[in-house]
């Protein structure tokens, strides 16, 4: 581990001066394509390099955000860890109760395509966790000790972010793998018990009894596309199949919770007399031959449309990466409620998929929001 120290004494979090008893470690990744530490850690100590925008976090900021450390690249490309708060300082990293129990660090993301970079920061992060576990006498394999931000959300102690799973999973790695790596680094320490799957709002991530069923409606048994023990797999199936939902064994609709179709977002076209799919595609997408995208998005099986029909428009009709948006949806793409303070803020689109957008971090929340649930500003 290449551990350095540059405490964020100018950040309001440091000035708040609260202490915690460290009971665990929360692993974050930044959600922004910039692997260089100087983006977040400053001023330049000769190794970091100069942040030309001077937007590092060691200053009063307009957002209440601060973590205990960062892992990323020095100016010369070397991987390093910077401690940025005393480890037992109360950080502002989780957006939930984990701030009172967990120390934290961010791993600086790159474009998420470079496996050698992930391996290097993964190793650095595991070494940091092994060091912290020894320091605070923590068992890395004990349930809830080392958790990713997304696991904190599943436990109800952190905001709804997907880090660092969205990155680790690209290279076939999980937080379970990470915990095992930390344990291995610590030698014989650790009890060896397997971490339990994290619960998710009354619906466990993995069922021991029964199944999560993917259907159009609970009553329509024939529409069932599959039955899953693992909730994430059921959700994935639904994400791939418009018009389907995840149901619990008692018939409760779990996901997605509601349709976020809103005409005020300007992402719906109401069909007028004389419209055709070709004409609509030409108007919004600049090319009539792209009409199959509208068909697909709306689940149309024929080219016939009728006046008054509401058609969702493909994302490329109105959004691109980098656009600033406000959230109009009441729920994230995962179905969870979006808090008011998140809706008040302006977010930057950092990734677009067929029916959802990723709003980035640090300028946003690093969460997926339904496509219909954002409004370009
Ligand atoms: Zn996070």
Q: How far does residue 5's CA lie from ligand 1's centre (Å)?
A: 21
How high is the pLDDT of residue 264?
37
How high is the pLDDT of residue 316?
63
Q: How far does residue 159's CA lie from ligand 1's centre (Å)?
A: 8
Cα dist. 7→22, 48, 58, 86, 105 in Å? Answer: 18, 14, 8, 7, 13
Q: How far does residue 257's CA lie from ligand 1's centre (Å)?
A: 24
Q: How far does residue 298's CA lie from ligand 1's centre (Å)?
A: 34
Q: How far does residue 246's CA lie from ligand 1's centre (Å)?
A: 26
- Which range, of 3-17, 217-231, 311-325, averages the lowest pLDDT? 311-325
Mean pLDDT across the chain, nearest whole number? 86
Q: How far does residue 94's CA lie from ligand 1's centre (Å)?
A: 6
Q: How far does residue 26's CA lie from ligand 1's centre (Å)?
A: 8
pLDDT band for position 364 (cuts 50, 70, 90): low
Q: Which residue has the higher pLDDT, 265 or 286?
A: 286
Q: How far does residue 167's CA lie from ligand 1's centre (Å)?
A: 12
Q: How far does residue 66's CA lie from ligand 1's centre (Å)?
A: 11
Say yes or no to pLDDT of 377 above 90: no
Say yes or no to pLDDT of 198 above 60: no
Percentage with pLDDT > 70 across the chain: 91
Say yes or no to pLDDT of 115 above 90: yes
How high is the pLDDT of residue 265?
43
Q: How far does residue 362's CA lie from ligand 1's centre (Å)?
A: 10
How high is the pLDDT of residue 214?
94
Query: Which residues 6+ apart lie within 8 Å of 97 measured at CB?
Result: 156, 157, 158
Q: How far does residue 161's CA lie from ligand 1's centre (Å)?
A: 6
Q: How far does residue 346's CA lie from ligand 1's centre (Å)?
A: 18
Q: Which residue has the higher pLDDT, 263 or 24?
A: 24
Average pLDDT (88-99) is 95
Domain with CATH 3.40.80.10 in the chain: 3-185
CATH of domain 263-316: 3.10.350.10
How high is the pLDDT of residue 338?
84
Rounded distance between C-alpha atoms, residue 326 and residue 22, angstroms: 36
Domain with CATH 3.10.350.10 in the chain: 263-316
Q: How far does residue 149's CA lie from ligand 1's centre (Å)?
A: 5
Say yes or no to pLDDT of 376 above 60: yes
Say yes or no to pLDDT of 194 above 70: no
- Tell if the pTM clears 0.75, that is, is over it: no
Average pLDDT (324-332) is 87
DSSP-derived letter for residue 92 is: B
Q: How far does residue 93's CA lie from ligand 1's centre (Å)?
A: 7
Q: pLDDT tens-digit profile of 265-279?
A: 446 888 888 889 999
Evaluate whether 189 touches 132 at the Cβ level (below 8 Å). Answer: no
pLDDT band for position 315 (cuts 50, 70, 90): low
Q: How far does residue 28's CA lie from ligand 1's centre (Å)?
A: 4
Name the CATH superfamily housing domain 3-185: Peptidoglycan recognition protein-like (3.40.80.10)
Q: How far does residue 163's CA lie from ligand 1's centre (Å)?
A: 5
How high is the pLDDT of residue 361?
56
Q: pLDDT tens-digit profile of 213-235?
A: 999 888 788 899 999 999 999 99
Q: How far does residue 368's CA lie from ligand 1's centre (Å)?
A: 13
Q: How far does residue 68's CA lie from ligand 1's centre (Å)?
A: 12
Q: How far does residue 164's CA lie from ligand 1's centre (Å)?
A: 7
User: CA geometry: angle at 167 spanning 156 and 366, to 5°?
Assistant: 50
Q: How far does residue 256's CA lie from ligand 1's centre (Å)?
A: 23
How high is the pLDDT of residue 26?
98
- What CATH architecture applies to the domain 319-376? Roll (2.30)
Query: Which residues 6+ apart lie within 8 Å of 114 measured at CB?
Result: none
Q: How far does residue 237's CA lie from ligand 1's centre (Å)?
A: 25
Strand segments, DSSP code E, in the chain are: 3-5, 24-29, 69-73, 79-83, 102-107, 146-148, 212-215, 226-228, 245-247, 253-255, 268-270, 310-312, 324-327, 347-352, 356-359, 367-370, 374-376
Percentage with pLDDT > 90 across the chain: 51
How high is the pLDDT of residue 257?
60
Domain with CATH 2.30.30 in the chain: 319-376
Average pLDDT (267-293) is 84
How high is the pLDDT of residue 193?
40
pLDDT band for position 191 (cuts 50, 70, 90): very low
Q: pLDDT tens-digit profile of 342-361?
A: 888 888 888 877 678 888 75
Query: Which of helix, strand or coil describes residue 167?
Result: helix
């Amino acid at each position: 581990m290449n551990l350095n120290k540059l405490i964020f004494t100018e950040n309001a979090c440091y000035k708040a001066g609260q202490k915690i008893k460290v009971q665990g470690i929360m692993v974050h990744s930044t959600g922004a394509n910039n692997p260089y530490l100087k983006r977040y850690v400053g001023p330049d100590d000769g190794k970091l390099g100069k942040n030309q925008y001077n937007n590092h976090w060691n200053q009063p900021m307009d957002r209440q955000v601060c973590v205990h450390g960062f892992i990323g690249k020095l100016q010369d490309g070397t991987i390093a860890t910077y401690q940025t708060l005393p480890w037992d300082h109360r950080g502002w990293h989780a957006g939930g109760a984990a701030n009172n129990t967990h120390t934290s660090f961010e791993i600086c993301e790159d474009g998420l395509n470079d496996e050698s970079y992930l391996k290097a920061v993964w190793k650095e992060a595991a070494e940091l966790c092994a060091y912290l576990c020894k320091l605070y006498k923590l068992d890395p394999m004990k349930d809830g000790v080392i958790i990713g931000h997304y696991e904190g959300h599943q436990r109800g102690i952190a905001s709804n972010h997907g880090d660092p799973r969205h990155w680790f999973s690209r290279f076939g790695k999980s937080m379970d793998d990470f915990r095992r790596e930390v344990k291995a680094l610590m030698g014989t320490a650790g009890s060896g018990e397997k971490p339990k799957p994290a619960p998710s709002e009354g619906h466990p991530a993995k069922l021991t009894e029964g199944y999560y069923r993917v259907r159009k409606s609970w009553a329509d048994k024939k529409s069932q596309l599959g039955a899953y023990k693992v909730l994430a797999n059921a959700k994935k199936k639904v994400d791939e199949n418009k018009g389907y939902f995840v149901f619990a064994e008692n018939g409760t609709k779990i996901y997605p919770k509601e349709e976020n179709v809103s005409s005020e977002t300007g992402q719906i076209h109401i069909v007028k007399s004389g419209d055709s799919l070709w004409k609509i595609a030409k108007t919004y997408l600049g090319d009539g031959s792209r009409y199959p995208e509208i068909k697909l998005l709306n689940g149309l099986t024929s080219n016939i449309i009728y006046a008054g029909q509401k058609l969702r428009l493909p994302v490329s009709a109105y959004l691109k990466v980098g656009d600033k948006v406000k959230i109009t949806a009441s729920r994230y793409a995962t179905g969870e409620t979006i808090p008011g303070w998140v809706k008040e803020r302006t977010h930057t689109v950092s990734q677009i998929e067929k029916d959802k957008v990723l709003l980035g971090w640090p300028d946003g929340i690093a969460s997926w929001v339904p496509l219909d649930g954002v409004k370009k500003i």
